[in-house]
């Protein structure tokens, strides 16, 4: 971090480390050229967290039904 600006992978790593230290269930997801975090807020609700673009919103877990993981 002393070297300069963090991009999405670095920000995601910092956020994931924080979440791990606080025993918060989450998954780091990567797509071509991007990384983000999905957090399980409750049994029915997930959180989309994109640290690089300052995006944070909740959505129902049922929205992912039928998706291949």
In a domain, 3, yes or no: no
In a domain, 19, yes or no: yes
pLDDT in tens, 5-35: 778 888 999 999 999 999 999 999 988 889 9
Q: How many structural domains compose the chain?
A: 1
Nearest CA-CA partner of 38 in 15, 14, 22: 15
In a domain, 65, yes or no: no
Is residue 69 pLDDT above 60, yes or no? no
In a domain, 31, yes or no: yes
In a domain, 12, yes or no: yes
Question: CB 46: neighbour CB atoms within 10 A?
Answer: 20
| 2 — pLDDT class (breaks 50, 70, 90) | low
3-state secondary structure of 10: helix
Is residue 68 pLDDT above 80, yes or no? no
pLDDT in tens, 34-61: 999 999 999 999 999 998 888 999 999 9
In a domain, 1, yes or no: no
- Name the residue range of residue 24's domain: 8-60
In a domain, 2, yes or no: no
């Amino acid at each position: 971090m002393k070297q300069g600006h963090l991009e999405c992978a670095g920000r995601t790593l910092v956020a994931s480390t924080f979440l791990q230290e606080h025993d918060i269930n989450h998954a780091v997801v990567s797509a071509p050229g991007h990384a983000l975090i999905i957090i399980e807020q409750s049994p029915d609700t997930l959180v989309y967290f994109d640290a690089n673009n300052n995006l944070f919103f909740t959505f129902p877990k049922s929205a992912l039904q039928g998706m291949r993981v």
